[in-house]
Amino acid sequence: MADREAGVVIVGAGAAGSACAETLARDRGFSGSILLVGRDSDPPYERPHASKSYLRGETDRDAAYLHPASWWEERGVELLTRTSAMKLDTDAREIALSSKQTVRYTEAAVLATGANVRRLRVPGAQLEGIHYLRALGNADSIRADVEDASRVVLVGGSYIACEVAASLTQMGKRCTMVMLEPAPLATGFGEDVGAFFARVLVDHGVELVTGDPLAGFEGDERVARVLTESGRAVDADAVVMGTGAVPDVMLARSAGLELGESGGILCDACLRTSAPGVWAAGDAAEYDSVLHGRRMRIEHWEVARAQGKAVARAIAGSPADFDEVPYFWSDLADWVTVEYIGPAAQWEQEVVRGSLDDGSFAVFYLAGGRVAAALSVGRPEDLMQARRLLADRVEVRGREAALADPGADLSALS
């Protein structure tokens, strides 16, 4: 038997869970009780700070928080930090917590469990000085550990690896990136854009080892070298892994919820899971996208926030297909900001508007004669038009010259 009840129990206090609680409490006038459960020791915060300003010591902990601690209580949200959900019983509508309490949800449960870092099992992975970054606490550990380091190796060509390389370089560290990709961010953006980001990083002093996967680490008790499959040995006083993440579906799996092909929690277009009264949002949600015409699972702060809000609206009585165009952004220190909408699983053509050499450009990724994704560096107005073209499924076949011409009015394409 449950120890207590709550109208809505939200498991996960990251981007999606906090947005869901905020929307229920503030924007939708939800009258039921709201319990927000997070395993982190901090109240909800802006996770992107962890690889950027917070890591560099420019933003303090309180400034990273979404709201002061009192905000949640004042709006009727009960926030439990350092608390995990251990078991979900969808028949009894009960959730067992690590605090030894069992809570019955009377209206809905929301699984916003996010993702965990992908840990690579390679020789030497247990050595001290090898870090993964997911939370503010990880950023604290990295900042403290590299204080006396001169050489830091970033493993991977992802957002996280690029952002941390930029931050640590600004902090005076000599950084080397080791990756299997031909260039940083090339997997999602293509080799031309990857080459642009490679130039930005190299021009600011970051060394790149590309197309050479990680083989392992060497050192006594602490890491001293990073080894690649080609036989290269890169000296390292510390290592930060940017090797991706895997959806946290342990609670969903043990509860018997259906999982998708990407390993996420399977949802319909409204983000409902296979169990009545249970919703999912954020990195762990694999949903039927009416916008893309396929199942999607997206790992990004802005998308998770948007999905959390959508689930809150649905619980409050206004369910709708999640059809928001996913938006992504990343800062590499103060060197460059990239914005992106999509994502494109694959594309047939890239149309560049502006100049990659000058560092002000947009790239339209075309598939089937339509815009499947777009990226912008210094041209936000182009991204706004690309969002419209993607959402409205505008046919652009034969009009590629207008996309490429910086002087053409993209609003005329319809």
pLDDT per residue as tens digits for the range 76-113:
999 999 999 999 999 999 999 999 999 999 999 999 99
Q: Is the pLDDT of residue 174 over 80?
A: yes
Q: Which two tokens stand for residue 408?
A: 């053409």
d(CA 131, CA 139): 9
> pLDDT digits over 50-64, tens only?
999 999 999 999 999
How confident is residue 406, by pLDDT bands cut at 50, 70 and 90?
A: very high
Q: Is the pLDDT of residue 264 over 80?
A: yes
Query: What pLDDT is recorded for position 29?
Result: 63
Where do the domains of the chain lie?
4-113+251-315, 119-243, 344-412
Q: Distance from first CA to last CA of the chain, Å, rounded?
A: 58
d(CA 165, CA 177): 7
Please give the average per-residue pLDDT across 295-320, as a whole number: 95
How confident is residue 2, by pLDDT bands cut at 50, 70 and 90?
A: confident
CB 157 within 8 A of CB 163: no
Strand, helix or coil for residue 326: coil
Q: Is the pLDDT of residue 205 over 70?
A: yes
d(CA 265, CA 257): 7
CB 117 within 8 A of CB 245: yes
* Alpha-carbon distances, residue 297 vs 224, 269, 280, 352 (angstroms): 36, 12, 11, 27
Please, what is the average pLDDT of the chain? 96
CB 10 within 8 A of CB 114: no
Amino acid in position 157? G
* Block residue for tokens 């652009």: 396
Strand, helix or coil for residue 168: helix
> pLDDT digits over 178-204, tens only?
999 999 999 999 999 999 999 999 999
Q: Tell me which CATH code domain 119-243 carries.
A: 3.50.50.60
Angle between helices 159-170 and 191-203 (to 10 degrees): 20
**Global confidence as pTM:** 0.94
* Block residue for tokens 């799996």: 253
The count of residues in the chain is: 414
Q: Is the pLDDT of residue 28 over 70?
A: no
Say which CATH superfamily domain 4-113+251-315 falls into: FAD/NAD(P)-binding domain (3.50.50.60)
Tell me the H-state helices in 146-276.
Answer: 159-170, 186-189, 191-203, 250-254
Query: What pLDDT is recorded for position 27?
Result: 62
Long-range contacts of 345-353 (CB under 8 A, 24+ apart): 345/294, 345/372, 347/190, 347/372, 347/373, 349/400, 350/190, 350/192, 351/400, 351/403, 351/404, 352/192, 352/404, 353/379, 353/382, 353/403, 353/404, 353/405, 353/406
**Pairing verdict, β 370-377 and 360-367:** antiparallel
Please give the average per-residue pLDDT across 335-340, as a whole number: 97
How confident is residue 345, by pLDDT bands cut at 50, 70 and 90?
A: confident
Say which CATH superfamily domain 344-412 falls into: FAD/NAD-linked reductase, C-terminal dimerisation domain (3.30.390.30)
Q: Which two tokens stand for residue 317?
A: 């009585």
How confident is residue 1, by pLDDT bands cut at 50, 70 and 90?
A: confident
d(CA 113, CA 284): 6
Buried b (16+ CB within 10 A) or exposed e, 165-181: bbbbbbbebbbbbbbbb
DSSP secondary structure string for all residues of 74-128 = HTTEEEE-S--EEEEETTTTEEEETTS-EEEEEEEEEE---EEE-----TTTTSB
Radius of gyration for the alpha carbons in the chain, expressed in angstroms and rounded: 22
